[in-house]
Structure 1
Amino acid sequence: MTIAPTSSSTTSPSSRWARFRSSYLLYSFKRDWIAQVCFAVFVLLVAAAILAPWLASMNPYDLAQIRILDSELPPFWIDGSDPQYLLGTDAQGRDLLSTILYGARVSLIIGFGAVMLQALLGVTFGLLAGYLGGRVDAFLMRMADIQLSFSTLMVAIIVGAVIKATFGGAVYSEYAVFILVLIIGLAEWPQYARTVRASVLAERSKEYVDAARVMGFRAKRIMFRHILPNTLSPIFVISTVQIANAIISEAALSFLGLGMPETQPSLGSLIKSGFDYLQSGSWWITLIPGAVLIVLVLVINLLGDWLRDVMNPRLYKG
Structure 2
Amino acid sequence: MISARAFTTRFLGDPVAICAGTVALVLVLMAATAPLIAPQNPYDLMQLDIMDSEMPPSWMPGGDPRFLLGTDAQGRGVLSTIMYGTGISLLIGLGAVAVQGVIGVTLGLVAGYRGGWIDSFLMRLADIQLSLSTLMMAIIALAIFQTAFGAATYSQLAIPILIAVIGIAEWPKFARTVRASVLAEKKKEYVDAARVIGLPARLVMFRHILPNTLTPVLVISTIQVAEAIMIEASLSFLGLGMPVERPSLGSLIRSGFEFIFSGSWWITLYPALVLIALILALNLLGDWLRDTLNPKLRRGED
What TM-score do the two structures reach when normalised by structure 1? Answer: 0.92
Instruction: Show the counterpart of 1:125.
Output: 107
2:255–2:268 CA contact under 8 A, matched in 1 = yes
Aligned with residue 96 of structure 2, among 114, 129, 134: 114
Instruction: Show the counterpart of 1:277.
Output: 259
- 1:130-162 Cα offsets, whole Å, 9 max, x none, are 001112111111211111111110111111111
Aligned with residue 311 of structure 1, among 268, 293, 297: 293
Aligned with residue 41 of structure 1, among 23, 34, 53: 23
Instruction: Show the counterpart of 1:105.
Output: 87
**What one-letter code is carried by the residue in structure 2 that aligns with 1:313?**
P
1:200–1:231 CA contact under 8 A, matched in 2 = yes
Instruction: Show the counterpart of 2:45.
Output: 63
Q: Secondary structure at the match of 2:93?
A: helix
| In 1, Cα distance between equivalents of 2:120 and 2:143 | 31
Aligned with residue 152 of structure 1, among 134, 148, 152: 134
| In 1, Cα distance between equivalents of 2:174 and 2:4 | 30
Q: Secondary structure at the match of 2:262?
A: coil
1:20–1:26 CA contact under 8 A, matched in 2 = no
| In 2, Cα distance between equivalents of 1:317 and 1:77 | 48
| In 2, Cα distance between equivalents of 1:234 and 1:129 | 17
Q: Secondary structure at the match of 2:261?
A: coil
Deviation (angstroms), 1:102: 0.3
| In 2, Cα distance between equivalents of 1:20 and 1:308 | 12
**What one-letter code is carried by the residue in structure 2 that aligns with 1:214?**
V
Q: Which runs of 5+ in 1 are unaligned?
A: 1-18
Instruction: Show the counterpart of 1:222.
Output: 204
| In 1, Cα distance between equivalents of 2:242 and 2:30 | 20
User: Is the counterpart of residue 137 in structure 1 residue 119 in structure 2?
Assistant: yes
Instruction: Show the counterpart of 1:10.
Output: none
Q: Secondary structure at the match of 2:296?
A: coil
| In 1, Cα distance between equivalents of 2:245 and 2:52 | 17
Deviation (angstroms), 1:203: 0.9
- 1:38-75 Cα offsets, whole Å, 9 max, x none, are 11111111011010011111111112211111111011
User: Is the counterpart of residue 205 in structure 1 residue 187 in structure 2?
Assistant: yes
Deviation (angstroms), 1:252: 0.2
Pairwise CA RMSD of aligned residues?
1.4
Instruction: Show the counterpart of 2:176.
Output: 194
Instruction: Show the counterpart of 1:237.
Output: 219
1:274–1:283 CA contact under 8 A, matched in 2 = yes
| In 1, Cα distance between equivalents of 2:3 and 2:164 | 38
Aligned with residue 249 of structure 1, among 190, 206, 231: 231
| In 1, Cα distance between equivalents of 2:151 and 2:129 | 27
Aligned with residue 70 of structure 2, among 88, 91, 94: 88
Q: Which runs of 5+ in 2 are unaligned?
A: none
| In 2, Cα distance between equivalents of 1:314 and 1:218 | 33
Instruction: Show the counterpart of 2:33.
Output: 51
More off after superposition, 58-67 vs 222-231: 58-67
- 1:92-139 Cα offsets, whole Å, 9 max, x none, are 110110010000000000000000000000000000000011121111
Instruction: Show the counterpart of 1:28.
Output: 10
Instruction: Show the counterpart of 2:163.
Output: 181
2:291–2:297 CA contact under 8 A, matched in 1 = yes
Deviation (angstroms), 1:30: 1.7
| In 1, Cα distance between equivalents of 2:277 and 2:268 | 14
2:97–2:221 CA contact under 8 A, matched in 1 = yes
**What one-letter code is carried by the residue in structure 1 that aligns with 2:14?**
D
Instruction: Show the counterpart of 2:151.
Output: 169
Aligned with residue 74 of structure 1, among 56, 69, 79: 56
Deviation (angstroms), 1:20: 9.2
| In 1, Cα distance between equivalents of 2:127 and 2:2 | 39
Q: How many residues align?
A: 300
| In 2, Cα distance between equivalents of 1:228 and 1:21 | 19
Aligned with residue 259 of structure 1, among 238, 241, 260: 241
Deviation (angstroms), 1:249: 0.4
Deviation (angstroms), 1:172: 0.6
| In 2, Cα distance between equivalents of 1:234 and 1:44 | 25
Q: Secondary structure at the match of 1:27?
A: helix
Distance 1:30 1:201, change over 3 A: same
